[in-house]
A = this chain, B = another copy of it.
Amino acid sequence: MRKLDHDQRRREIAEAAARLIAAEGMPALTTRSIAKAMNCSIGVLSHYFDGKAAIVTAAFAWASERIEQRLARALSRGISVDRLLPLIRAALPHDRQSRTEWGVRLHLWSHAAADPDAAAVLRADLERNRALLGSVIVQLQRQGEVRPDIDARGVAQMMIDSMHGMGFAALLGLHPAGHDPVSAFNVLVDDLRCGDGARRGVARDACNA
């Protein structure tokens, strides 16, 4: 029970730190700002974390965990080719909560550029996501919804890379107004589908016109 309280408190601190990172950036994450956000004194932090670096690590972990949970929840609603786009959409930043998570993620990426430990964590995260998305595609192949000749892991990697690019860009408001980056995945998804050659062939005939 004591242990539970302890872990609970750690999680609260990590979350507070994560929110601060997302909202104001790493430089604004100070022990003072965390204590203020937690409405507690500075000294408390050292009871739960061994220095600020550990809090940062925990904040990054908190966000990564949330992001994975979000993906898992989306997957739990059932898998089909037609659900791929909504799934991607659910994974990208689209509401306050997901924007916070993506905000932390972006800072984690830049943090990892100079911190090998963070980079290792990041690699592990990505590997899990790749495996997860890869297994989804394999399952769709087994369901006969996706062409069997494609490399599931390769496509998963590409989708994840693209999602990161889109997610960060969306987070920073880098897309033109009204632009829906996810719709671009239609091209890719259509390409994965079985038996839709007809429509595409027509369009392609236009070249020779």
Q: CA–CA, A132 to B110, complex, Å?
A: 27
Q: CA–CA, A207 to B188, complex, Å?
A: 17
Q: CA–CA, A7 to B206, complex, Å?
A: 52
Distance in Å from the Cβ of A11 to the closest Cβ of chain B? 23
Given contacts A113-B106, A147-B203, A147-B207, contact A122 B161 (CB under 8 A): no
Q: Which B residues lie within 8 Å of A130 (CB)?
A: 176
Distance in Å from the Cβ of A52 to the closest Cβ of chain B? 12
Given contacts A157-B184, A187-B191, contact A169 B201 (CB under 8 A): no
Q: Which B residues lie within 8 Å of A163 (CB)?
A: 165
14 more CB-based (< 8 A) A-B contacts, given A109-B110, A161-B184, A197-B201: A103-B113, A119-B173, A119-B174, A123-B172, A157-B176, A158-B184, A160-B165, A161-B165, A162-B162, A194-B208, A195-B204, A195-B207, A195-B208, A201-B201
| This chain's copy number in the assembly | 4
Q: Is the CB of B175 within 8 A of A157?
A: yes
Judge whether A166 is part of the interface by a CB distance below 8 angstroms: yes
Q: Is the CB of A204 within 8 A of B197?
A: yes
Judge whether A49 is part of the interface by a CB distance below 8 angstroms: no
Judge whether A155 is part of the interface by a CB distance below 8 angstroms: yes
Using CB atoms and an 8 Å cutoff, list the residues of chain A in contact with chain B.
22-28, 103, 106-107, 109-115, 119, 122-123, 126-127, 130, 144, 147-149, 153-155, 157-158, 160-166, 168-169, 171-176, 179, 181, 183-184, 187-188, 191, 194-197, 200-201, 203-204, 206-208
Q: Is the CB of B161 within 8 A of A111?
A: no
Candidates B26, B147, B158, B173; contact of A162 at CB < 8 Å: B158
Q: CA–CA, A109 to B148, complex, Å?
A: 38
